[in-house]
Structures are given as C-alpha cells and as structure tokens.
Amino acid sequence: MGEIYVIKANGEKELFSEDKLRASIKRAGIPDSYSSRLISQIKEVLYPEIPTSIIYKHITNFLYGIPHSSGKYMLKQAIMDFGPSGYPFEKYIARILSYRGYRTEVDVIMQGRCITHEVDIVAENEHGKYLIECKFHNLPGKRTDAKVALYIHSRYEDIMLGEYRHEKRENCKMWLVTNTKCTTDALSYAQCSGMTVYSWGYPTQTSLQHLIEDRKLYPVTCLSTLSKKQKDLLLSNDIVICQDLLHKKEILERLNLSHQERRKVLSETEELVG
C-alpha cells in the first residue's frame, strides 16, 4: 500500500499512520488479540483522503462484535452526544471533579469589579479554589480559540478585584475545560497567563480523556444498550456518569425497560466502570 492521506475532522490532511491507529485502539482498552485483525480490516478499506470519521465508523462496526468495548472507544462521540446545549457537559465535568475529591457548584453568579459573571463551575479542594469555564462544541474539528482564553482571563481578573478581592491569588486558579482541541494560540495564551487547560488530548498526561479514563468516569451516553431518548431522560435527571447509574438503580424503572433489557444495561455499565 502506498502513502494514504486522511482528512481530519478539522479539515486538515495527515499521512495515515498505522502506529497512531494502534495507539488509539490500545487506549480504548481493546484486547491485543483483536487489535491486529482490526488494523488489517481498516487497511483494506482505506482510500486516498478518507475522512477519519469513516475510519471511526469502521472501528465501531467492528467493535459491535466484541461485547462492551465500543463504549470506551466512542468516548469522544459520547461527549458530543451531550449537545446541543452545553449544560450536560458542565454537569458532567462537575461530577468528574466531585469523584476526584473536589467540592463543586455549578452556574455560580459571582460579582466582579465591573459586572456580575456566571461561572460554569466553582470547585474547591484543600489546595484552593478553581473558577472553571466549560467550552462545549458538538461538532468535531471545531477548536476552542484564543478569544475564549482571553475572555476567561478578563473575567478572572474582574472577579479577583470583586468578590474574591480578599482571597490570595495563588489560591485561586482559572481553568478552561473543553471537549475539543484548542488552537496553538489559545494554549500559548493560557500557559502564559496562568490558566490550566484540560482539552481533548492536552496536556498529554492529564488531558480530559485521562481525567475520565483513569477513574473510568464514563458518561451514560457511552452505553450502547440505551436509546438516545433514554439517555436524554437520564441526563435531565442529573444522571450523567455511569457510576451514578449503579448508585441510583431505581432511575432505570423510569426508562420502560424489560427485565432482560435492564439486566443488559446494568451489565454493560458494570463492565465499563469495573
């Protein structure tokens, strides 16, 4: 096979890399025994300038044959499925943080020196306070740009001169959490101005995926045993994380499931978080 270029979600061309594909399959926790078979299947269907979305589709189709493995692989899509509004994403991030030991509050009105601000999440732990802006995009390839980092910084400065004027600056941090990538400028500005970013794939060791996969804090939209309507019902009842479903099994009664379907949902959930 000669060199094949793929078209990424943001429209950029990139040389197809078997190593990248293998890394992505590995990250999804798919057993090595399946990996080689999957890779050779994918290589058979490649064509010049194939969109990566088509490659993902082939992977998902393949994964449907392996019980309970597609949920993790499709994490990125599962988060997109929170849309169109950004509100479930905020709730999801807040739940991740509370599983990781932070006290959190969502949609907090805070008084700045100039104006009042609605801060998506205020989190707190023994190290300090965190003002968090969640930037949700429901289209892949849409990057969070420098303007977002710039307005978060002004908002932070306004709050530090308003409601937080008696707080120590070193104890109050600002974070940007986004489900897509950031532009290089957005990352440079964030780093330079002391803002922490958790985005798709960045920073490598503590990215949003890492925050999720490390503790298996998968969203309920990962579950292949529920319909879109059933997932929406869970989200509107503040059940955004799979663990929550296991702690509040009674919510499943509202989903109109047969005994067998219910068992399947619980089994997939336990598999994901186990």
Phi, psi of 52 (to 5 degrees): -60, -25
Q: Which is nearer to a copy of itself, 158 or 268 (CB)?
A: 158
Structure tokens belonging to residue 216? 């298996």
| Radius of gyration of the chain from its Cα atoms, rounded to whole angstroms | 20
**Is 125 a binder of a copy of itself (CB under 8 A)?**
no
Give the integer Cα–Cα distance in Å for 174 and 120.
11
Whether 177 and 171 have beta carbons less than 8 Å apart is answered as no
**What string marks each residue from 131 to 170 as x (binds a copy of itself by CB under 8 A) or -?**
---------------xxx-xx-xxx--x------------
Q: Distance between CA atoms of 12 and 17, rounded to whole angstroms?
A: 15
Encoded tokens for 133: 């802006």
Q: Based on CB atoms, which residue is closest to a copy of itself, 154 or 237?
A: 154
Report in angstroms how near the CB of residue 153 gets to a copy of itself at its nearest. 5
Q: Which of residues 85-124 bind a copy of itself (CB under 8 A)?
A: 113-116
Short-list 177, 181, 186, CA closest to 146: 186
Report the nearest approach of a copy of itself to the CB of residue 243 (Å).
Answer: 34
Q: In this chain, which of 16, 89, 175, 189 binds a copy of itself, going by CB under 8 A? A: 189
Give the per-residue contact string, 226-255, with a copy of itself (x = CB under 8 A; - = no): ------------------------------
- Binds a copy of itself (CB under 8 A): choice among 185, 232, 261, 271: 185
Smallest distance, a copy of itself to C-beta of residue 115, A:
5
User: Which lies closer to a copy of itself via its Cβ, residue 125 or residue 154?
Assistant: 154
d(CA 201, CA 198): 8
Round to whole Å and give the CA distance between 132 and 107. 10
Q: Where in the chain does DSSP place strands (E)?
A: 5-7, 13-15, 50-51, 103-111, 116-125, 128-135, 172-178, 195-198
* CB-nearer residue toward a copy of itself: 82 or 189: 189
Smaller CB separation from a copy of itself, 116 or 256: 116
Does the footprint of a copy of itself cover residue 192 (CB under 8 A)? yes
Residue 180 tokens, joined? 């897509």
The residue (of 35 and 193) whose beta carbon lies closer to a copy of itself is 193
Can you say whether residue 201 is alpha, beta or left, with left for phi > 0 and alpha for psi between -120 and 50 degrees?
Answer: left
CB of 155 to a copy of itself, least distance (A): 6
Q: Which residues bind a copy of itself (CB under 8 A)?
A: 113-116, 146-148, 150-151, 153-155, 158, 185, 188-189, 192-193
